[in-house]
Amino acid sequence: EAAEKGGYPHFMLKEIYEQPKALKDTLSPRINENNEIILDDIKLTKEDLEKINKVVIVACGTAYHAGLVGRYAIEKFARIPVEVDVASEFRYRDPFVDDKTLFIAVSQSGETADTLAALREAKEKGARIMAVTNVVGSRISREADDVFYTWAGPEIAVASTKAYTTQLMAMYLIALNMGIKKGTVTKEKYDEVLTELKALPEKVETLLENIENIQKLADQQFHNENVFYIGRGIDDHVGREGSLKLKEISYIHSEAIAAGELKHGTIALIEEGTLVVALATHDYLYDKMLSNMKEVKARGAYVIGVAQEGNQEIEKSADAVIYIPNTMDELSPILSVIPLQLFAYYIAVARGADVDKPKNLAKSVTVE
């Protein structure tokens, strides 16, 4: 097993460090010399797309969090309304799905029972089925009309890392490809996004080379029993993933909440020393986030801010700041989740937890 871990103490850390390669492997083979996105296993034509009036994304756990970012990307670039559901809940409200619906199942393993059951229901109702999965030949891939394989390589650690970032890459490519086919994204914007997507693996690499700050913060904060993650827009979705990472491997109670919702209840739980991780990576939401951070700080919270480089202003509203390399606001999740993965990892290590095999959890859940 030590050899399989390639010198890393845990599979999770190894997989965190494999992300630049996983992202490159997921992206590069799909871009041809004319900067076109070629999705071999997706047969959806321009005509098929014109018929689609709604996208429904269904997934569990980390894949669900990728689905939330997928909604943003598809609505933004392809201008189709998108619903996202947790797979285990999807069937309980007789969902509006018909032959004009594109149903996207996101699943690392491609075997999750709830996701598969939701897929079958959507198929029965006539939806076109697309799978985003990491496992070739998995059940979900076999039952789908179109497949996008994330080329993350095998993911061993129960806590998902490289599968998540490659699922994000998948969602961006699918959304952009739809957008260019539908004419809802300009060639200029398309080129700009694609250029930035290509630059991301290297930016992740840079992030991974400078982790002392994160390690230090984890060593200071590992004794907390309550940690809150706040953000707005897609920062909120990333906060949810960061919070899930922390609770699944460190057993610390954690909640993620849209920052604007704090005042409707959760802020009552903030007291002296409560740890709040605040994501503020978006220019247009920056001021609102700073004021949320001040609110929790005024109640005694210890605030760790996550922001893009150059936004030093945040230091006035935070006790510590983790900077991510500059990127387009739309693509920030691929970078901002990395420090959250590492933070959860080093906290779990400091607490002596079994990082790769957390109690009560399984890598692939094949029961409903």
User: Parallel, antiparallel, or unpaired for β 101-107 and 226-231?
Assistant: unpaired
Residues 205-234 that bind ligand G6P (CB under 6 A): none
Of 58 and 127, nearer to ligand G6P (C-beta) is 58
Three-state SS at 74: helix
What is the distance between the terminal CA atoms of the chain, rounded to a whole angstrom? 31
Segment interacting with ligand G6P, rule: CB under 6 A, options 38-46, 90-98, 105-113, 187-195: 105-113
Of 37 and 244, nearer to ligand G6P (C-beta) is 244
Q: Is 61 in the site for ligand G6P (CB under 6 A)?
A: yes
Q: Which residues of 82-95 are buried (b: 16+ CB within 10 A; e: fewer)?
A: bbbbebbebbeeeb
Min. distance of Cβ 200 from ligand G6P in angstroms? 21
Tokens of residue 279, six digits = 């994501």
Min. distance of Cβ 9 from ligand G6P in angstroms? 20
Q: Is 60 in the site for ligand G6P (CB under 6 A)?
A: yes
Min. distance of Cβ 309 from ligand G6P in angstroms? 30
Min. distance of Cβ 158 from ligand G6P in angstroms? 5
Segment interacting with ligand G6P, rule: CB under 6 A, options 4-12, 58-66, 178-186, 211-219: 58-66
Q: Is 303 in the site for ligand G6P (CB under 6 A)?
A: no
Neighbours of 190 (CB within 10 A): 18
Tokens of residue 163, six digits = 């599968």
| 118, 119, 121, 122 alpha-carbon torsion, rounded to 10° | 120
Of 160 and 292, nearer to ligand G6P (C-beta) is 160
Neighbours of 19 (CB within 10 A): 26
Segment interacting with ligand G6P, rule: CB under 6 A, options 8-16, 36-44, 76-84, 108-116: 108-116
Residue 307: which of 288, 291, 326 has the closest Cα?
A: 326
Q: Is 246 in the site for ligand G6P (CB under 6 A)?
A: no
Min. distance of Cβ 138 from ligand G6P in angstroms? 9
Segment interacting with ligand G6P, rule: CB under 6 A, options 9-17, 30-38, 55-63, 179-187: 55-63
Number of residues that bind ligand G6P (CB under 6 A): 15
Is-catalytic flag, 363?
A: yes
Indicate the residue type of 303. Answer: V
Segment interacting with ligand G6P, rule: CB under 6 A, options 218-226, 311-319, 344-352, 357-365: 357-365
Phi, psi of 55 (to 5 degrees): -115, 135
- List Cα–Cα distances, 149 to 134, 174, 309, in angstroms: 5, 11, 32
Of 303 and 348, nearer to ligand G6P (C-beta) is 348
Of 60 and 238, nearer to ligand G6P (C-beta) is 60
Three-state SS at 293: helix
Three-state SS at 305: strand
Q: Is 138 in the site for ligand G6P (CB under 6 A)?
A: no
Residue 148: which of 104, 184, 118, 112 has the closest Cα?
A: 104
Tokens of residue 31, six digits = 């871009």
Q: Is 62 in the site for ligand G6P (CB under 6 A)?
A: yes
From 54, 182, 189, 363, active-site residue: 363
Q: Is 160 in the site for ligand G6P (CB under 6 A)?
A: yes
**Which secondary structure element, helix H or strand E, spans residue 146, and what is its range?**
strand 146-149
Give the residue, chosen from 49, 117, 267, 365, that forms a contact with ligand G6P under the rule CB under 6 A: 365
Polymer length of the chain: 368
Of 174 and 322, nearer to ligand G6P (C-beta) is 174
Tokens of residue 192, six digits = 């700009």
Rg of the chain in Å (alpha carbons): 20
Which residues lie near ligand G6P (CB under 6 A)?
A: 60-63, 107-109, 112, 115, 158, 160, 361, 363-365
Give catalytic residue positions: 363
